[in-house]
A = this chain, B = another copy of it.
């Protein structure tokens, strides 16, 4: 057995405009190398592990978070996910986790999901459990619920599986469908240097939706899936419309509407917030177009709102979480 085990889980874009809580895709770097995400290192714990000691998981160290993430296992996404896995599959085991944040927090890129996924993948490998992906997703979900206050897997599932995925339902267990991605599709991503708290952002959404708006949303979600199977980029473009979350959340992202207009002007197929935002994504036909669109969005936000932006162009589909080599 290897001890310790390191696992990487990528950042991801959830919702994809029309698929609130059901659609998401994984991200990678422009050259196809590892992009933003989390690395979690799991090693055998040398502590009793009972309730009195705080459970079977300890957080030994967190780097890259600016000291903001809690070391206390009951409040840490990675630890809660790892604990769920251990209690379900390997009761009695104890592990130490080290977390390296290689992505920004609270940017709408699935930071908590990446922590939870990297943790369960690392612990699964450390303890040689070979838990099926669907069950692993269920354990990771425990961490995501802690972070966001709602059970949704549209960041978790792409971070674990890679690619572009549909989460049909979580009840009674995760039902995840891996969708095809048209050749050459790329994601232009821009992250303004601002933060959005996912829990607060979810709380701001309307709890009731007018029926006609809901119909618009499921028409677009169904059409987006059809466009992916048909590699129909015109249909994809028409379907990339969010009438549910974006109208509410865009209010908290300075320059969003101007940046979206700039993305479309620069040839994007569609543009919306990534998850809760403030990151924006635009789907594009080809990496070169993606580079132009990312520049247009970033320049617009920097000019309109005076907020600096990071840029990323991710070829799709991107790989999911995996065990990686190297010392902890």
**A residues near B, CB below 8 A?**
18-23, 166-169, 175, 177, 179, 205-211, 214-226, 229, 235, 238-239, 244
30 A-B residue pairings within 8 Å (CB atoms): A20-B215, A21-B219, A22-B218, A22-B219, A22-B222, A23-B222, A166-B219, A168-B220, A168-B222, A168-B223, A168-B235, A168-B238, A169-B216, A169-B219, A175-B238, A177-B223, A179-B226, A206-B211, A207-B211, A208-B211, A209-B209, A209-B210, A211-B244, A214-B214, A214-B217, A214-B218, A218-B221, A218-B222, A221-B221, A221-B222
> Shortest distance in angstroms between A230's beta carbon and chain B's nearest beta carbon?
8
- Contact across chains for B218 and A217 when beta carbons are under 8 A apart: yes
Shortest beta-carbon contacts, A-B, top 3: A218-B218, A168-B223, A229-B229
- Taking CB atoms, residues of chain B closer than 8 Å to A217 are 214, 218
> Shortest distance in angstroms between A112's beta carbon and chain B's nearest beta carbon?
19
- Contact across chains for B223 and A226 when beta carbons are under 8 A apart: no
> Shortest distance in angstroms between A262's beta carbon and chain B's nearest beta carbon?
23
Q: How far is the CA of A256 from the CA of B235 in the complex (A)?
A: 37
- Taking CB atoms, residues of chain B closer than 8 Å to A218 are 18-20, 22, 214, 217-218, 221-222
- Contact across chains for B205 and A208 when beta carbons are under 8 A apart: no
Q: How far is the CA of A210 from the CA of B225 in the complex (A)?
A: 23
> Shortest distance in angstroms between A225's beta carbon and chain B's nearest beta carbon?
4
- Taking CB atoms, residues of chain B closer than 8 Å to A18 are 218
- Taking CB atoms, residues of chain B closer than 8 Å to A206 are 211
Q: Which of A166, A214, A215, A223 has the most CB of B within 10 A?
A: A215
- Contact across chains for A21 and B179 when beta carbons are under 8 A apart: no
Q: Across the interface, name the chain B residue whose C-beta is closest to A235.
A: B177
> Shortest distance in angstroms between A204's beta carbon and chain B's nearest beta carbon?
12
